[in-house]
Amino acid sequence: MSIYEDLYSEFLESADTLRVYDGDTPVFTSKKDGLRPLMEYIAAAASRHQPVTIFDKIMGNAAALLAAMVNCREVYSPLGSELAVRTLDRFGITYHIDRIVPYIKQPDGVSMCPMEKLSTGKEPEEFYQELKIRLAKAL
């Protein structure tokens, strides 16, 4: 049994959207939506903690690319996309995803999430740089 199973159950019941662990020590948590928490983690602490384990409420391809960028070794998520699974496999990241869907959808439940679309076909650093520019413009 993994040391993360109890921690993951606790995460699922919490309001947190992201938790990052260095071993069994939490090094970052957030209740914010979307990719902003992962981007904040990268800016604040990623260089100090490697490798890490990530718990994320939604593991789309965009989040998978960012996970690869921070030397993540293991991901836990209740929902992930087939695109994310391919990215995680490509970078050798072990994943525990409860439900895998073809792609992450927008809140309307029909069309593809813009970040899923934007991340398709990109490398981690390339996607990160593009996302940084988009977030800076949004401020």
> Which structure tokens are listed for 139?
């401020």
CA 100 to chain centre: 14
Would you put residue 19 in left (φ > 0), alpha (ψ -120 to 50) or beta?
beta
Average pLDDT along the chain, 139 residues, taken 10 residues at a time: 88 98 94 94 84 97 96 97 98 98 91 94 96 85
Confidence (pLDDT) at 2: 76
**Domain at 42, CATH number:** 3.40.140.30
Smallest CA-to-CA distance from 40 within 61, 19, 59 is with 19
Q: What is the number of domains present in the chain?
A: 1
Confidence (pLDDT) at 108: 86
Confidence (pLDDT) at 109: 86
Question: DSSP code of 70?
Answer: T
Whether the CB-CB separation of 28 and 8 falls below 8 Å is answered with no
Whether the CB-CB separation of 35 and 115 falls below 8 Å is answered with yes
Write out the H or E segment, with its range, that includes residue 41: helix 36-44
> What residues make up the domain containing 64?
4-138
Confidence (pLDDT) at 67: 97
Structure pTM? 0.94
Confidence (pLDDT) at 66: 97
